[in-house]
Amino acid sequence: MKTQNHTQIFKRVLLACFAVLTSCTVDTDKDIDPNLNLKNNNECVSVMVSDADINSFYDSNVNIPRPEDTHLKALLHYNINVSDFAASKKFYKLLAFANFIDLNIDVTDPDEAQGLDLPPYSLKTTPMRAKDGFIIDLIKFNSPYDGEAPHSDYNSIGFSSLHLKSSNLKKDRAYLARNGVSSTVIVGTEDTPEKIQFADPDGTTILMSQVGPVSNVYFFQRTKIDGVFSTNINVTDLATSVDFYQEVGFELVDQNEDYATIALSKGRHITLTESCSPNMAYEKVNHLGIARIAITTSDLEADMEILSAKGIEFYSPVPIQGTGVFSIIRYAAFEDPDGNVLELVKLPL
């Protein structure tokens, strides 16, 4: 009986996490950032989308999906795989992410594990919420474990970085330095930084931009890190990826020769950026770094049928029911043309 009570509590916590995420809003202030080519290797230089061109807000009110389209709603969270759970949780707390609860998950059913294209697996996880409501799902895979370091090249194909926003970047950079986190100014100057780059304990690239006017009003806050600024996916062929994501159910908001902005009916816009990097998307979702993103849907079965008819192959032919406290959700995962893993999630809300 005691175990059942704990399980019910965990489920309520998860529901609260999802409720907070789906009800949040963020500001639309933008700073003016010159176009930048970020050089992370000698062979490939790809365009970094300027901060002024980033659409990083919720509730975009794009009039989709139409009845014949999929039922995708909004970006739910990033999955960030780590090697040292405690150290990584401490690091992301420095970035003003708050964790809700630590959970141990053991998936012993091969059919359920196939939902992520893995053998039976075990992991430890905690959802962590930024000030603006954005969620990262911090995961330490116990088995199977892949200890290969994340790509250090911002231009790498896939989800190459986490991009945060600050209303006092200079002070936040000093705060990180005092806590042992070094960073590099990539836009602006040492005295007036506009964008910095650093890494988490495993080497996952993190960008942080000054967004809006500088604020010195703290109200007992340790930082002015205000949340996630943008979501970017690097792709090998922009036209192919734009076509694919439109087939999935995204609306094309804007496009030029280097990048495109896509959106769902609600939630954060996503930027697709064409890259010439030789570093491809991670082969499996247990690779260290940002290995997949989750998107909410109001009708998972219908979306699987629609997308399967368009030639998209899911890891499992049927929706997967989560294990333990995650039994309140169902999901299905597939890949984009570059192998980036997208997970459709049906929440009980």
pLDDT score at 47? 66
* Per-residue pLDDT at 46: 60
- What's the token pair of residue 35? 């176009």
Check whether 173 has a pLDDT greater than 80. yes
Tens of pLDDT, residues 155-164: 999 998 999 9
Full set of structural domains in the chain with CATH: 2-346 (3.10.180.10)
| Model confidence at 143: pLDDT above 80 | yes
More confident: 333 or 59: 333
Round to whole Å and give the CA distance between 302 and 74. 17
C-alpha dihedral (324, 268, 51, 228), degrees to nearest 10: -30
What angle (nearest 5°) sits at the alpha carbon of residue 36, between those of residues 230 and 158? 45
Average predicted confidence (pLDDT) for the chain: 84
Please give the single-letter amino acid code of residue 201.
P
Evaluate whether 320 touches 121 at the Cβ level (below 8 Å).
Answer: no
pLDDT on residue 152: 87
pLDDT band at 137 (very low <50, low <70, confident <90, very high): very high
pLDDT the model gives residue 14:
52
pLDDT of the residue at 154 = 87
**Confidence at 55, pLDDT banded by 50, 70, 90:** low
- Give residue 44's pLDDT band: very low, low, confident or very high (50, 70, 90): low
Using the predicted structure, report yes or no on whether residue 58 has a pLDDT greater than 70: no
Spatial CB neighbours of 297, under 8 Å, sequence gap ≥ 6: 70, 71, 72, 73, 303, 344, 345, 346
Cα pseudo-dihedral 189, 190, 191, 194, rounded to 10: 50
pLDDT at 68 over 70: no
What's the confidence (pLDDT) of residue 239? Answer: 97
pLDDT band at 328 (very low <50, low <70, confident <90, very high): confident
Residue 308's pLDDT band, with cuts at 50, 70 and 90, is very high
- Nearest Cα neighbor of 276 from 337, 234, 240, 243 is 234
Using pLDDT thresholds of 50, 70 and 90, give the confidence band for residue 323.
confident
What pLDDT, on a 0 to 100 scale, did the predictor assign at position 15? Answer: 46
The pTM of this model reads 0.84
Looking at residues 316-322, what average pLDDT do you find?
A: 93
pLDDT reading at 45 higher than 70: no
Q: What are the counts of helices (DSSP H) followed by strands (DSSP E) for the chain?
A: 6, 20
Q: Write b or e for each residue in 95-114: b if 16 or more Cβ atoms lie within 10 A of its Cβ, otherwise e.
A: bbbebbeebebebeeeebbb
Q: What is the pLDDT of residue 49?
A: 74
- Is 262 within 8 Å of 250 (Cβ atoms)? yes
The pLDDT of residue 52 is above 80: no
| DSSP-derived pairing of the beta strands 259-263 and 205-210 | unpaired
Taking the mean position of all CA atoms in its chain, how far away is CA 305?
A: 25
Mean pLDDT of 292-307: 95
Rounded to an integer, what distance in angstroms lies between the CA atom of residue 321 and that of residue 290?
23
| DSSP bridge pairs for 254 | 261
Report helix, strand or coil for 278: coil
Strand spans (E) along 144-224: 161-166, 184-188, 193-199, 205-210
The confidence score (pLDDT) of residue 56 equals 52
